[in-house]
Amino acid sequence: MALLQSPFPLLSLLVTLSLLINPSHCFYRKLLDESNWSPAGATWYGSANGAGSDGGACGYGSAVEQAPFSAMVSAGGPSLYKSGKGCGACYQVKCTSTTNAACSGNPVTVVITDECPGCVSESVHFDLSGTAFGAMANSGQADQLRNAGTFQIQYRKVECNYPGKTVTFSVDSGSTSNYFATLVEYEDGDGELGSVELKQALDTDSWQPMQQSWGAVWKLDSGSTLQAPFSIKLTSLESSKNIIANEVIPAGWQPGKTYRSVVNF
């Protein structure tokens, strides 16, 4: 009788069970209002059960095939890729049986990890990995859905949330004592970065703006020797929230190494 008098525990139980039985991705997101879906075009590329490409235009490399991305990724048309500023953004996508009989109607979550510059026939277009495209299908009908090619889907932007992950900095192999570049990964919240700034060891007040090099890679070409350790300030693109990874790049840092912070949005 208690469940009938108060539906909220039952609702919470159903949401929890839905997450437990949906193993298609290893990152989670806040649930948003069911009414805020918008139309978009969708295609898929790469192998049927693959991650589209090996990292693509955002620079994530082979990480797109591994948890937490787990190949649940997408290339974005210009309005999603945003000249690289859209890298890391999380979206839910779904298709319904009115579009294709193989569609489950259940949303799946994907991350923008690549660019689709030719995807301009619609204002918003997702060129999904084969894995992500197939995840929109009824059980056992992924191939049938992929055979459909191009069709309309529904999408909405959601907050990224990578359980157990903090923001990670992978130092570009071309970095030197005067030039520092790093790939930034696993940002919760917006997922997208509006700006990145660096502070050197002996400078307690001055933040130097880094420039977007390409995709999710940011650089600082100082013209003089940089003094590590470096602190890095990140500002999210849409919400303008910021966090500081204090001395995340240590003295004696090396090109090609990855350094994990203790912070996230």
Q: What is the pLDDT of residues 221-237, one digit of tens each?
A: 998 999 999 999 999 99
Is residue 177 a part of any domain in this protein?
A: yes
* pLDDT higher than threshold 80 for residue 4: no
Same-domain status, 71 and 118 = yes
CATH, residue 190: 2.60.40.760
For 57, the domain range is 24-158
Q: What's the pLDDT score for residue 34?
A: 52
What letter would DSSP give residue 204? S
Q: What is the mean pLDDT of the chain?
A: 89
52-69 as b/e: b if 16+ CB within 10 A? bbebbbbbbeebbbeebb
Is residue 5 a part of any domain in this protein?
A: no
Confidence of residue 204 (pLDDT cuts 50, 70, 90): confident
Same-domain status, 173 and 146 = no
Q: Residue 259: exposed, middle, or buried by beta-carbon count in 10 A (0-12, 13-18, 19+)?
A: buried
| Residue range 71-89, pLDDT digits in tens | 999 999 999 999 999 999 9
Same-domain status, 184 and 129 = no
Is residue 6 a part of any domain in this protein?
A: no
* pLDDT higher than threshold 90 for residue 131: yes
CATH, residue 153: 2.40.40.10
Same-domain status, 238 and 148 = no
173-185 as b/e: b if 16+ CB within 10 A? eebeeeebbbbbb
Same-domain status, 172 and 145 = no
Same-domain status, 74 and 190 = no
Residue 69 near residue 87, CB atoms below 8 Å = no
Tokens at 116, concatenated: 């689709």
Same-domain status, 85 and 115 = yes
Q: What's the pLDDT score for residue 203?
A: 73
Same-domain status, 152 and 63 = yes
* pLDDT higher than threshold 90 for residue 156: yes
Same-domain status, 70 and 195 = no
**Phi-psi category of residue 264: left, alpha or beta, with phi > 0 → left and psi -120 to 50 → alpha:** beta
* pLDDT higher than threshold 70 for residue 9: no
Residue 172 near residue 48, CB atoms below 8 Å = no
- The stretch 61-73 carries a mean pLDDT of 96
131-148 as b/e: b if 16+ CB within 10 A? bbbbbbbbeebbeebbeb
How many of the other CB atoms lie within 10 Å of CB of 9?
10
Same-domain status, 47 and 124 = yes
Q: Comparing C-alpha atoms, which of 185, 183, 184, 186 is closest to residue 162?
A: 186
Same-domain status, 108 and 35 = yes
Q: Where does a domain end: 158, 184, 216?
A: 158
